[in-house]
Structure 1
Amino acid sequence: MNDPKNNRILSTLPSTEYQHLIKLLEPVDLTFNEILLEAAQKSELLYFPTQGIVSLVSVLDDGATTEIGLIGKEGMVGTLQFLGNGILNSRTMVQVKGTAMRIESEVLRVEFDRSEILQKLLLGYALKLFNQVSQGAACNNHHTVKQRTARWLLMLDDRSENKLSMTQQLLSQMLGVRRTGVSEIANDFKQQGMINYQRGLITILDRQALEAQACQCYQLVRV
């Protein structure tokens, strides 16, 4: 069920503000690999995820990809473009299928200009997303693939209510490393009882042990 109050921004709004905004939102499904916004494309539609996970993905000329940010039920897809009134150089795509409440950018602009509370919520979330992206850049440069894999799985788990539908190929694409390296790490985590991996589904069995494998970046950006 697509419950708007699963989204943290929407659920934080006072009742009168929430009831007003909900009339302007449209429930939609988010399908795996769906591109919500291509790189260098102006955002005309914005999404408040209620289930599922959306990735900000950097795509290079040779087709290589690296995940630079995650958006789940804690935020809004298109926040940075909306507040900056511009475009991003990253692709926005659905990584874990789910649901969202959608609104036209121009419609939300009217509500944003009208509501000081909504302004504070979106600006606050934009700062958190910026911190996540910038911390991820530092992490990619200074920490091992094993640490990054642990961090990434924990961030996914924070935003997921079910088992993670995840292949090793997707893991390697999101981390920007070779599949063989990710496969070895995933098998190591499985053998140590931290995760279970079967038929493209990952279940975290021991979060404490997995957090011990992750770098300090996870604690800085956890939601």
Structure 2
Amino acid sequence: MTRSASTPSFIHPTVGGPSADIVVALSQAIHEHRLLPGTKLGEDELSRIFNVSRTVVRSALQSLSHEELVELRRNRGAFVAQPTIREAREVFEARALLEPRTARSAAERMTPEDLARLEAHIAAEHDAIANAEHGKALRLSGQFHIDISRIADQATIAGFIERLVARSSLIIALYWQRQSALCEKHAHGALLEAFRRGDGDDAEDLMKSHLVDIVAALDLRELPRAQTSLQDILKV
């Protein structure tokens, strides 16, 4: 399957054919908070929604479990992963260790083409916010952080950050207390200006404070309410 430009790059189907289509659809719904943590992903219902066999659905759910987006519970089925408060803290502690130095490296390696791509990305993110497409804005925010790690040309660290960002999306769905929890409107713009100047010190400091702000926007005491049906959420 060929992914469209709108499909987040942190979706990496490990299967092909119809299973890959389901992986992409469910992943995007999770990252856009249309499928919240704890939602049951029934094989029979997904089979009807996507018009495929349960075997195809099961393969997709296995792939998503490898990405830690889905939990497979014995004798109970598949559920959207539901990180604990402890996991939430650990994920953002790890991001705080990795991403500031990665932002410094990106500033030192930034090309005009990289800047143009990030500018277009921020414009799309702001359009989503203006149109109240908060799930889409969330997904784009995560992708912005992943793009920075790739520009830094640190493949191993970029892989870690990609998985942490995916986990962060679940954490924010569970624990955010305001809709700007992932990225404040101007935070990415400030980072972009540091990249434009090639200012590694400022980029590192901005990323540190940006991640602190994200954690401050989370309420680690609250749990989400029940979801609507899979059919209504996925609408395929």
Normalised by the length of structure 2, the TM-score is: 0.29
Higher RCO, 1 vs 2 (CA within 8 Å, ≥6 residues apart) = 2
Normalised by the length of structure 1, the TM-score is: 0.30
Q: Which has the higher strand share?
A: 1
Q: Which has the higher helix share?
A: 2
